[in-house]
């Protein structure tokens, strides 16, 4: 069990897993708690170098978590080596935070969960809130002692969906959440000569997916909405329920990690997988079914 206490913040107590979030106040007061490791994971790989939460270390989604050759995550040995190098042990409580409302922090947290790292938490509001509150930032990179992290299997089955499984899910009329913007969902394209798109060959969405842009789960300050508001969106408006087998996707799996976190930890959905291949795989693959339009 975790040696680092949970944040007793009343807001978090209403979520399905209250211990999955920490507030900026709690983190500021607990930076030196033994067993706690703070990890910054950003879209912009330079942000950590411009200044970060004192004592925090950086895990880069591109250079640390991805396999350098194939489009996949690092394997068990690679992950164990990374953890050892970063000074994280299997028992560490890891608090993730990052830019862009924690997209990449949630994504890194999800990858840690693939390897069964138990105690993972997210800083509510992420880097944006910490900075907005004028809290201390430093350019000092801590030196941490290397650890011996056990080589642990990557269990993709429960948390990750592959293309073939998504296709089966489509045929079985399973629940899917497309967390991209409405324009990406409908398949609008604005191709013009010399305006290279960050792209895919086809626009639209996976048939049967419901559109819930990730941002609907977040408030302007980057923190998560309260449980009542979240339930109204995912359960009330979209008709999902906590027992459903749900697949979330976006373009490359980062924004959908944010929604995966919301459904799993805040609302208590039991069976949510992130399809990290997402639209950049589906929209480029041959002969996969695609739907266009707002519905």
Partner 1 sequence: MSESTAAQLPPGLAAVAADFADTPRELRLELLLEYADRLKPLPEPYASREDLMERVEECQSPLFAVAEVKADSVHIHATAPQESPTTRAFASIMQLGLDGLTPAEVLAVPAAAPLQLGLTELVSPLRMRGATGLLARIQRQVRAATTA
From candidates 26, 61, 185, 279, binder to partner 1 by CB under 8 A: 61
Q: What are phi and psi of 37, to 5 degrees?
A: -125, 130
Asked if 99 is part of the footprint of partner 1 (rule: CB under 8 A), the reply reads yes
Active site residue 250: yes
- What is the C-alpha to C-alpha distance for residues 85 and 64, in angstroms, rounded to an integer? 11
Question: Active-site residue among 250, 263, 267, 272?
Answer: 250
* Shortest separation between residue 236's beta carbon and partner 1, angstroms: 31
* Shortest separation between residue 184's beta carbon and partner 1, angstroms: 13
Shorter beta-carbon distance to partner 1: residue 58 or 169:
58
- What is the C-alpha to C-alpha distance for residues 153 and 124, in angstroms, rounded to an integer? 29
User: Contact region for partner 1 (CB under 8 A) — 9-17, 45-53, 84-92, 112-120?
Assistant: 45-53
Instruction: Provide the token pair at 63.
Output: 């250079």
User: Contact region for partner 1 (CB under 8 A) — 117-125, 196-204, 207-215, 217-225?
Assistant: 196-204
SS3 93: strand
Helices marked H in the chain — which ranges? 10-13, 24-30, 47-50, 76-86, 103-114, 126-132, 156-159, 163-171, 182-186, 227-231, 255-261, 278-282
* Shortest separation between residue 204's beta carbon and partner 1, angstroms: 19
Task: Classify residue 108 by its DSSP letter.
Answer: H
Shorter beta-carbon distance to partner 1: residue 30 or 45:
45
Cα atoms in the Cβ-side hemisphere of radius 13 Å centred on 68: 3
Asked if 140 is part of the footprint of partner 1 (rule: CB under 8 A), the reply reads no
From candidates 145, 164, 194, 220, binder to partner 1 by CB under 8 A: 194
Asked if residues 200 and 284 have their Cβ atoms less than 8 Å apart, the reply is: yes
User: Contact region for partner 1 (CB under 8 A) — 60-68, 115-123, 201-209, 238-246?
Assistant: 60-68
Shorter beta-carbon distance to partner 1: residue 194 or 295:
194
Asked if 158 is part of the footprint of partner 1 (rule: CB under 8 A), the reply reads no
* Shortest separation between residue 238's beta carbon and partner 1, angstroms: 26
9 closest CA partner among 147, 234, 24: 24
Q: What is the CA radius of gyration of the chain?
A: 19
Q: What are phi and psi of 274, to 5 degrees?
A: -100, 125
- What is the C-alpha to C-alpha distance for residues 208 and 214, in angstroms, rounded to an integer? 18
Asked if 220 is part of the footprint of partner 1 (rule: CB under 8 A), the reply reads no
User: Contact region for partner 1 (CB under 8 A) — 2-10, 47-55, 172-180, 233-241?
Assistant: 47-55
Asked if 252 is part of the footprint of partner 1 (rule: CB under 8 A), the reply reads yes
From candidates 34, 173, 196, 220, binder to partner 1 by CB under 8 A: 196
Pairing label, strands 210-211, 175-178: parallel
Asked if 43 is part of the footprint of partner 1 (rule: CB under 8 A), the reply reads yes
- What is the C-alpha to C-alpha distance for residues 27 and 6, in angstroms, rounded to an integer? 10
Asked if 146 is part of the footprint of partner 1 (rule: CB under 8 A), the reply reads no
Asked if residues 55 and 49 have their Cβ atoms less than 8 Å apart, the reply is: no
Shorter beta-carbon distance to partner 1: residue 195 or 220:
195
Question: What are the residue numbers of the active site?
Answer: 250
Give the residues lining the site for partner 1 (CB under 8 A).
43-47, 49-50, 61-63, 99, 194-198, 252
């Amino acid at each position: 069990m975790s040696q680092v206490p949970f944040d007793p913040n009343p807001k978090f107590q209403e979520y399905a897993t209250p211990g999955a979030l920490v507030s900026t106040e709690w983190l500021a007061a607990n930076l030196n708690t033994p067993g706690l490791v703070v990890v910054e994971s950003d879209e912009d790989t330079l942000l950590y170098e411009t200044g970060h939460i004192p004592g925090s270390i950086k895990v880069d989604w591109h250079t640390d978590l991805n396999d350098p050759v194939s489009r996949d995550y690092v394997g068990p040995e690679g992950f164990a080596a990374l953890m050892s190098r970063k000074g994280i042990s299997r028992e560490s409580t890891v608090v993730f935070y990052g830019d862009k409302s924690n997209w990449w922090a949630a994504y890194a947290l999800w990858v840690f969960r693939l390897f069964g790292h138990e105690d993972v938490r997210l800083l509510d509001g992420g880097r944006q809130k910490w900075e907005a509150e004028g809290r201390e930032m430093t350019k000092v990179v801590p030196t941490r002692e290397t650890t011996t992290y056990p080589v642990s299997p990557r269990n993709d089955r429960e948390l990750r969906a592959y293309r073939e499984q998504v296709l089966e899910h489509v045929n079985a009329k399973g629940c899917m959440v497309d967390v991209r913007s409405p324009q990406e969902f409908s398949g609008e394209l604005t191709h013009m000569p010399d305006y290279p798109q960050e792209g895919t060959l086809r626009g639209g969405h996976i048939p049967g997916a419901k559109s819930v842009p990730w941002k609907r789960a977040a408030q302007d300050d980057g923190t998560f909405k309260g449980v009542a508001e979240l339930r109204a969106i995912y359960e009330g408006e979209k008709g999902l329920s906590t027992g459903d087998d749900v697949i979330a996707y976006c373009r490359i799996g980062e924004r959908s990690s944010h929604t995966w976190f919301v459904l799993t930890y805040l609302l208590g959905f039991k069976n949510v997988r992130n399809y990290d291949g997402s639209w950049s795989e589906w929209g480029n693959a041959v002969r996969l079914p695609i739907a266009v339009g707002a519905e």
